[in-house]
């Protein structure tokens, strides 16, 4: 029996003490297929240098006799093989140890601490990853499987009769097909509405489902009004049963939610339990399980549960303008579609038409989730292709895991045995380490500048790692002749240099490939744009960007603080050198941060500037490259609020097409009120467009006037600040903490990570602390004129107008006196 299929969900099963891989996927006809594949679990014992062949034979015999008795099974070594391998770039002899069950690899490894053994490795690589690497069965790629159909077979505990699949095959061989194309998955989105926020506390009022030609709202609440997609049930339990039934009959590849790992799925499971119902949505009739972690990951057997929020958070958020990653903001940016309105305060007293609105609100959430899933599918698909890990994992992994996985899946080409993950002790040590020195930031001189050019290094950190061959494996213990020497820098309060081999290591080589592939796909994208090329180029870009941070990340397999610190030493060196060279060429340097330099062209032409850039590039080593970021018509730099020096990381530019680039200013900070932000934005735009402050001063004065006259809408005065830890853990009780406490008192759900919204009101009596004047949006009150003038408007424009010698404080103070005079 031969059949073509695409594996989507990866899992493993135990049968008679041995683990097998269970792949769930689709056939060309769209049938759901289960493929059971065998896998010879194994790990490595790397031998010390110089161990004799005779000794090696003895060691192998000892290892082959190992048997570990565990509670549920006994595991033993099946065979061993001797291989010439590499470990951290060095030639080693290593024994490949085959065992019955991968889960016991650690236990077996513990038994072989013989003196001839240098290191034991790869027992900590997850089974699925090992399987994908060794048997080359790639997620979301078409394969041909040859094997036997299981039909009411007793094999694997009669798995084929348990699983809700169309066909179940025991594989003899699986081959990846040459021709591949993007797969269009069958997606079902879901969303629930509840009367309590805490999981396990309240009821699920309704569940919405949205798929292709499929929309449903299931409820056990009032639904007399006709809405064709609403189905009513007598009890919560019956509603949940129907939900299970619909998931089964729709048969999705993907069940998508938004924040469903943290809310919808665990909530459903808890409520089902309360109703004594098994939430049997797995294709084997099992309930979702929750892997522990900061946010538990809800896994459904045979169906890939994706919490879109988690993928968007790591892979997408840096390209979004949205200030929060709420479904509403993300959907309106990516889909240009919003959530429906619903006033949750009505919940305690619902009329029939309120229920109707609530149902359509609920359905819309699923609809948005479904459309988002479709929209970002190319990115999820490409992440899976690039990292070669299953969908479930790549939609939850953080960037460090993506880097780890990319390396793991590409080590075979270098004949490398994988390094281990750090253990708790090592993680602790790494996290407690001293920080190393970071990048250089140029101190600007405040002022308005015209005719500006900015150069920056393309992927600076990555190109340094590649050009100087930096990594754990290429780091030398001491200086050798003909090696790479770092600039001198301080690490752990000690001045020193580090030395790296010139022989190319797999770690920088892989990064070089990533950079090359990124270039290639970016070029292809430019020639003929489509979503998949964009996603692919983006995946490589993110990988390249995360590679440097990975070196200094405590959880990394290939952690190398020396390499990370050396990368930064080179970053500082090159940035300072470029700044010096730009100065020497006769430009006035006004800006510089990490990998960039900004300067005034003055009498120099653009052509001269391009020629100069070319010359600078000819002097750069390796793959390092400097490029023109852009030319700007004008730019403004201001002083720090404390002190007369120019503020770093705060500037505004306008390019020749009239496009603004604002960095660091309150305009781009979400914890300032809308009025201050938009006023500052207007001021900056006017100054940069017009080259002087005249009309800006006018709008500032008008705004001051409007505040004083109480003409400002409270909406524009709301301050939003994130609650970054649990309320009771705050040492200093700042306004947003007070606001959060107030929310708790009013039974408004508050949780860590939420944006807390409040405004500052006038108060009776003499309260001097800001936090005593905090009011929630639902609390009636007058805004505090003094606060908004002195602490929002003034700081947002003071330093900008100061560049022109305008003292806006005097204007405000004048107005305030006038205001008092009126009373």
- Sort strands 32-38 and 167-176 into parallel, antiparallel or unpaired: parallel
Q: Which two tokens stand for residue 301?
A: 């057997």
Of 362 and 395, which has the nearer Cβ to DNA? Answer: 395
Least distance to DNA, CB of residue 68, Å: 25
Q: For residue 229, what are the contacts with CB-CB under 8 A and spacing of at least 6?
A: 215, 216, 217, 359, 363
Of 358 and 788, which has the nearer Cβ to DNA? Answer: 788
Of 60 and 310, which has the nearer Cβ to DNA? Answer: 310
Angle, CA 387 vertex, CA 317 and CA 562 arms, to 5°: 80
- Sort strands 18-27 and 2-15 into parallel, antiparallel or unpaired: antiparallel
Of 271 and 756, which has the nearer Cβ to DNA? Answer: 756
Quote the CA–CA distance of 34 and 24 in Å, as a whole number: 5
Of 126 and 795, which has the nearer Cβ to DNA? Answer: 795
Least distance to DNA, CB of residue 298, Å: 15
Of 165 and 597, which has the nearer Cβ to DNA? Answer: 597
Of 308 and 723, which has the nearer Cβ to DNA? Answer: 723
Angstrom distances, CA of residue 285 to CA of 11, 245, 281, 396, 584: 15, 11, 6, 24, 73
Least distance to DNA, CB of residue 180, Å: 29
Least distance to DNA, CB of residue 144, Å: 36
Give the number of C-alpha atoms closer than 13 A to the C-alpha of residue 19, restricted to the C-beta side.
23
DSSP string of 162-228, one letter each residue: HS--SEEEEEEEEEE-S--------EEEEEEEES-SSTTTS-EEEEEEEETTEEEEEESS---S--T
Contact 246, 209 (CB under 8 A): yes
Least distance to DNA, CB of residue 678, Å: 14
Quote the CA–CA distance of 20 and 672 in Å, as a whole number: 55
Smallest CA-to-CA distance from 460 within 313, 577, 561, 539 is with 577
Rounded to the nearest 5 percent, the helix, strand and coil shares of the chain are: 40, 25, 35
Of 252 and 390, which has the nearer Cβ to DNA? Answer: 390
Q: For residue 805, what are the contacts with CB-CB under 8 A and spacing of at least 6?
A: none
Buried b (16+ CB within 10 A) or exposed e, 100-114: bbbbbbebbbeebee
Of 201 and 669, which has the nearer Cβ to DNA? Answer: 669
Of 334 and 647, which has the nearer Cβ to DNA? Answer: 647
Of 278 and 430, which has the nearer Cβ to DNA? Answer: 430
Least distance to DNA, CB of residue 550, Å: 6
Of 5 and 553, which has the nearer Cβ to DNA? Answer: 553
Least distance to DNA, CB of residue 602, Å: 22
Contact 343, 358 (CB under 8 A): no
Of 114 and 554, which has the nearer Cβ to DNA? Answer: 554
Least distance to DNA, CB of residue 293, Å: 4
Least distance to DNA, CB of residue 538, Å: 14
Q: Which two tokens stand for residue 770?
A: 């800001």
Of 321 and 482, which has the nearer Cβ to DNA? Answer: 321
Quote the CA–CA distance of 541 and 527 in Å, as a whole number: 18
Rounded to 5 degrees, φ, ψ at 352 are -55, -45
Quote the CA–CA distance of 803 and 801 in Å, as a whole number: 5
Task: Tell me the residue length of the chain.
Answer: 823
Quote the CA–CA distance of 665 and 650 in Å, as a whole number: 6
Smallest CA-to-CA distance from 430 within 472, 470, 389 is with 472
Least distance to DNA, CB of residue 635, Å: 11
Quote the CA–CA distance of 553 and 546 in Å, as a whole number: 10
Least distance to DNA, CB of residue 409, Å: 18
Contact 186, 373 (CB under 8 A): no
Least distance to DNA, CB of residue 18, Å: 29
Residue with tokens 């009032």: 222
Least distance to DNA, CB of residue 132, Å: 20
Least distance to DNA, CB of residue 666, Å: 8
> Could you give the 3-state DSSP secondary structure of residue 136?
coil
């Amino acid at each position: 029996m031969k059949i073509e299929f695409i594996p989507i969900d990866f899992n493993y099963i135990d049968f008679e003490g041995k683990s097998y891989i269970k792949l769930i996927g689709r056939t060309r006809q769209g049938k759901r297929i289960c493929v059971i594949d065998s896998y010879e679990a194994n790990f490595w014992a790397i031998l010390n240098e110089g161990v004799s062949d005779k000794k090696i034979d003895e060691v192998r015999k000892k290892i082959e006799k190992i048997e570990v008795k565990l509670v549920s099974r006994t595991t033993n070594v099946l065979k061993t093989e001797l291989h010439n391998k590499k470990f951290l770039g060095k030639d080693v002899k290593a024994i490949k140890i085959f065992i019955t069950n991968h889960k016991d690899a650690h236990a077996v490894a513990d038994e072989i601490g013989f003196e001839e053994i240098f290191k034991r490795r790869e027992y900590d690589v997850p089974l699925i990853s090992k399987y994908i690497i060794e048997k080359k069965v790639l997620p979301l790629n078409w394969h041909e499987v040859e094997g036997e159909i299981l039909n009411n077979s007793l094999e694997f505990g009669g798995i084929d009769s348990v699983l809700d699949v169309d066909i179940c095959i025991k594989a003899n061989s699986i081959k990846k097909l040459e021709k591949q194309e993007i797969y269009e998955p069958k997606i079902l989105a879901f969303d629930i509405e509840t009367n309590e926020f805490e999981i396990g506390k309240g009821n699920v009022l309704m569940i919405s489902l949205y798929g292709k030609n499929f929309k449903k709202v299931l409820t056990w609440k009032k639904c007399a009004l006709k809405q064709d997609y609403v189905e009513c049930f007598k009890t919560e339990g019956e509603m949940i049963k129907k939900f299970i039934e619909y998931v089964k009959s729709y048969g999705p590849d993907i069940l998508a939610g938004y924040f469903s790992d943290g809310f919808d799925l665990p909530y459903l499971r808890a409520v089902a339990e309360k109703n004594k119902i098994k939430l049997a949505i797995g294709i084997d009739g099992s309930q979702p399980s929750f892997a522990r972690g900061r946010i538990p990951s809800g896994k459904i057997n045979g169906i890939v549960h994706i919490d879109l929020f988690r993928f968007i958070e790591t892979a997408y958020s840096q390209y979004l303008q949205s200030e929060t990653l709420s479904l509403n903001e993300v959907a309106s940016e990516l889909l240009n579609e919003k959530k429906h309105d619903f006033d949750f305060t009505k919940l305690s007293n619902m009329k029939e038409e309120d229920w109707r609105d609530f149902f359509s609100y609920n359905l819309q959430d699923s609809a948005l989730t479904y459309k988002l899933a479709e929209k970002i599918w190319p990115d999820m698909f490409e992440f899976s292709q690039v990292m070669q890990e299953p969908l479930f994992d790549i939609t939850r992994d953080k960037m460090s895991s993506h880097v780890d996985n990319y390396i793991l899946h590409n080590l075979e080409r270098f004949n490398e045995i994988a390094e281990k993950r750090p253990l708790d002790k090592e993680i602790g040590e790494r996290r407690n380490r001293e920080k190393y020195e970071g990048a250089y930031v140029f101190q600007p001189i405040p002022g308005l500048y015209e005719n500006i050019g900015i150069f920056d290094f393309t992927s600076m950190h990555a190109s340094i790692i590649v050009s100087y061959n930096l990594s754990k494996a290429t780091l030398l213990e001491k200086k050798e002749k003909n090696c790479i020497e770092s600039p001198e820098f301080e690490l752990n309060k000690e001045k020193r240099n580090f030395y790296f081999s010139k022989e190319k290591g797999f770690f920088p080589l892989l990064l070089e490939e990533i950079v090359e592939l990124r270039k290639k796909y970016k070029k292809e994208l430019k020639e003929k744009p489509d979503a998949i090329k964009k996603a692919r180029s983006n995946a490589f870009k993110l990988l390249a960007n995360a590679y440097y941070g990975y070196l200094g990340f405590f959880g990394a397999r290939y952690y190398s603080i020396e390499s990370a610190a050396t990368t930064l030493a080179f970053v500082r060196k090159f940035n300072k050198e470029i700044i010096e060279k730009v100065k020497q060429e006769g430009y006035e340097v006004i800006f510089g941060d990490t990998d960039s330099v900004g300067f005034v062209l003055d009498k120099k032409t653009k052509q001269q500037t391009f020629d100069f850039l070319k010359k600078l590039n000819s002097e750069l080593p390796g793959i390092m490259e400097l490029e023109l970021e852009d030319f700007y018509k004008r730019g403004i730099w201001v002083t720090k609020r404390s002190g007369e020096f120019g503020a770093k990381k705060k500037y505004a530019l306008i390019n020749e097409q009239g496009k603004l680039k604002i960095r660091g200013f309150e305009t781009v900070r979400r914890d300032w009120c809308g009025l201050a932000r938009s006023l500052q934005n207007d001021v900056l735009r006017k100054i940069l467009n017009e080259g002087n402050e005249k009309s800006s001063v006018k709008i500032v004065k008008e705004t001051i006037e409007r505040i004083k006259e109480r003409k400002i809408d409270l909406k524009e005065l709301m301050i939003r600040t994130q609650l970054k830890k649990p309320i009771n853990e705050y040492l200093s009780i700042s306004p947003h903490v007070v606001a959060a406490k107030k929310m708790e008192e009013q039974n408004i759900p508050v949780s860590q990570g939420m944006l807390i919204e409040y405004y500052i009101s006038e108060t009776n009596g003499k309260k001097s602390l800001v936090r005593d004047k905090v009011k929630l949006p639902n609390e009636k009150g007058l805004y505090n004129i003094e606060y908004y003038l002195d602490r929002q408007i003034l700081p947002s424009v003071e330093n900008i107008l100061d560049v022109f010698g305008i003292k806006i404080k005097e204007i405000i103070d004048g107005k305030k006196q006038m205001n008092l005079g009126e009373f």
